């Protein structure tokens, strides 16, 4: 229970860090004068990726790479923006497109696990609700398995996200899209804060998994005694 609260606190802290880093460094323009969309298009071209389209979408921090549609989605702010935060996020999403093009194994595993994880995620509220009215003993194993699947998915997500961020930092420095010194450090802070949210999501899932798994293990042992 303490572990769940700690993981929850870390999630809140990570979210706050992302918003504050993004707020701060979306005000710091990159000296290259490039927009997020321009940087994304350049990075894709440099990596000989010609079948990924870069599009903008309304909303804040909706940025993602959709491997099934081969679409790199940037929020309007990051698509048009010329800040080090916008360029960092655009380059990070390009990192995912490069992973996809090069068949980076953890991304392949993650894509394969999306279906069952969505199913597990949908099962959790249904099972939890059922557990309140029906036999909780029946529901406990279902929740343990469902959170186990979600935990595994969040674990596979970690190398995918860290690798995309490492690629982004290297490419932005090499191409000079983000200047050295303050610009680079600002971009780094935004991406590192974002990476921390994935660590927090993993720990939260792990805490819930253990919360439902441990009573089963303890219960099983006392039955044997």
Rama region for 178: left / alpha / beta (φ>0; ψ in -120 to 50; rest): beta
Residue 15's CB: how many other CB atoms inside 10 A? 14
Q: How far apart are the first and last CA of the chain?
A: 26
Q: Closest CB to Zn ion among 36 and 148?
A: 36
Residue 159's CB: how many other CB atoms inside 10 A? 16
Work out how close the CB of 25 gets to Zn ion at its nearest, in angstroms, rounded to a whole number: 17
Residues binding Zn ion: number (CB under 5 A):
2
Q: How far apart are CA 185 and CA 163, in angstroms?
A: 18
Q: Closest CB to Zn ion among 59 and 180?
A: 59
Q: How far apart are CA 38 and CA 40, in angstroms?
A: 5
Q: Closest CB to Zn ion among 31 and 197?
A: 197
Q: Closest CB to Zn ion among 143 and 164?
A: 164
Positions in 9-68 near Zn ion (CB under 5 A):
none
Rama region for 170: left / alpha / beta (φ>0; ψ in -120 to 50; rest): alpha
Span from 40-48, 67-75, 163-171, 172-180 in contact with Zn ion (CB under 5 A)? 163-171
Task: List the catalytic residue out of 53, 76, 77, 93.
Answer: 93
Span from 6-14, 24-32, 128-136, 160-168 in contact with Zn ion (CB under 5 A)? 160-168
Determine whether 174 is an active site residue. no
Work out how close the CB of 99 gets to Zn ion at its nearest, in angstroms, rounded to a whole number: 9
Binding-site ranges for Zn ion (CB under 5 A): 161, 164
Residues classed as catalytic:
93
């Amino acid at each position: 229970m303490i572990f769940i609260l700690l993981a929850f606190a870390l999630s809140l802290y990570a979210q706050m860090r992302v918003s504050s880093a993004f707020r701060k460094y979306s005000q710091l323009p990159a000296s290259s004068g490039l927009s997020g969309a321009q940087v994304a298009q350049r990075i894709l071209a440099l990596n000989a990726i010609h079948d990924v389209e870069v599009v903008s979408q309304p909303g804040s921090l909706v940025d993602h790479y959709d491997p099934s549609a081969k679409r790199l989605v940037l929020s309007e702010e990051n698509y048009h923006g010329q800040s080090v935060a916008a360029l960092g996020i655009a380059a990070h999403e390009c990192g995912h497109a490069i992973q996809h093009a090069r068949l980076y194994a953890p991304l392949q595993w993650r894509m394969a696990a999306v279906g069952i994880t969505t199913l597990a995620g949908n099962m959790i509220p249904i099972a939890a609700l059922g557990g309140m009215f029906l036999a909780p003993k029946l529901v406990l194993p279902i929740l343990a398995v469902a959170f186990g699947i979600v935990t595994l998915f969040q674990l596979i997500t970690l190398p995918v996200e860290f690798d995309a961020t490492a690629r982004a930092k290297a490419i932005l420095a090499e191409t000079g899209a983000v200047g050295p010194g303050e610009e680079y450090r600002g971009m780094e802070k935004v991406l590192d804060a974002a990476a921390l949210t994935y660590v927090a999501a993993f720990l939260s899932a792990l805490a819930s998994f253990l919360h439902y798994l441990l009573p089963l293990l303890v219960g099983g042992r006392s039955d044997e005694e």
